[in-house]
């Protein structure tokens, strides 16, 4: 977001609404079940839920009516979509190529000629941004020349470009993204951090803007999942990170750029 656009938005921002949204978002950043590898703040108490009860909840649906026999069984079970590939349990050290990274970003998020994107956004405001953490140097396939240095970049859907935020030692940021045992199971080439700019759509949608932002995050990462599946590239979503640690390493202010979820490839 340019400074000119940001200044325009701030002329119409309601600071009370923004403060409430930020306060609620902060509450969502650290919740965990006892036994999780993630190391939460000392002030946060774990949720004591027996694992056998969690197993009952998994893969279930909730019925909204009383138990009865009045169910209409749909006879047509014809699948017109391919089964969703499962999230990767391990991501090995195979480096993605410059072309593969370009394909993931452009086909998942890149703007069409009319300005629309591959995923929907309330009012076409698109408050969700994409921070691309390149965890390994990327070389061009044809000549081995360095194409992207390891570091942090902003993907610009309207330009289909990576704008450098910083480059250099990525190890501390990588350990923030891959907390606990995730660091042993995954060796990704890139991590996309989906961030919300609450000011951008709150001027139109007020409190409801936060709900619309979460809907957009889900649509955007589902677009990336579908792209990765088509390309035969493994991916996984991660949420066991600390917003403020991530934002600090990115060099961004978590009050204005809210990390929502991380997707590794």
Per-residue pLDDT of 120-164, as tens digits, reads 999 999 999 999 999 999 999 888 899 999 999 999 999 999 999
pLDDT confidence band for 42 (50 / 70 / 90)? low
Give the per-residue pLDDT at 46: 57
Per-residue pLDDT of 180-212, as tens digits, reads 667 778 999 999 999 999 999 999 999 999 999
Looking from the CA of 22 toward its CB, the CA atoms found within 13 Å total 15
Average pLDDT over residues 7-24: 87
- How far apart, in whole angstroms, are the C-alpha atoms of residue 247 and residue 254? 6
3-50+92-264 carries CATH number 3.40.109.10: yes
pLDDT higher than threshold 50 for residue 257: yes
pLDDT confidence band for 31 (50 / 70 / 90)? very low
For the chain, the structural domain boundaries read: 3-50+92-264
Average pLDDT over residues 241-254: 89
Give the per-residue pLDDT at 254: 85
């Amino acid at each position: 977001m340019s400074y000119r656009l940001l200044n325009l938005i701030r002329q119409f921002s309601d600071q009370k609404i923004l403060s409430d949204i930020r306060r609620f978002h902060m509450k969502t950043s650290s919740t965990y079940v006892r036994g999780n590898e993630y190391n939460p703040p000392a002030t946060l108490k774990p949720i004591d839920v027996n694992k056998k009860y969690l197993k009952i909840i998994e893969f279930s649906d909730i019925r909204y009516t009383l138990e009865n026999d009045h169910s209409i069984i749909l006879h047509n079970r014809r699948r017109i979509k391919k089964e969703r590939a499962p999230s990767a349990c391990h991501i090995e050290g195979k480096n993605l190529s410059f072309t593969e990274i370009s394909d993931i970003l452009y086909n998942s998020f890149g703007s069409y000629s009319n300005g629309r994107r591959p995923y929907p956004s309330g009012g076409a405001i698109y408050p969700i941004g994409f921070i691309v953490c390149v965890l390994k140097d990327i070389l061009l396939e044809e000549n081995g020349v360095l194409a992207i240095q390891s570091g942090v970049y902003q993907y610009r859907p309207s330009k289909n470009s990576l704008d450098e935020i910083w480059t250099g030692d990525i190890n501390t940021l990588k350990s923030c993204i891959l907390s606990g045992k995730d660091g042993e199971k995954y060796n990704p080439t890139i991590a996309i951090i989906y961030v919300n700019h609450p000011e951008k759509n709150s001027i139109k949608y007020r409190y409801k803007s936060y709900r619309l932002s979460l809907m957009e995050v889900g649509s955007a990462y589902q677009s990336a999942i579908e792209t990765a599946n088509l390309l035969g590239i493994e991916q996984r979503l991660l949420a066991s990170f600390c917003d403020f640690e991530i934002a600090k390493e990115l060099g961004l202010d978590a009050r204005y750029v809210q990390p929502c979820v991380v997707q590794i490839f």
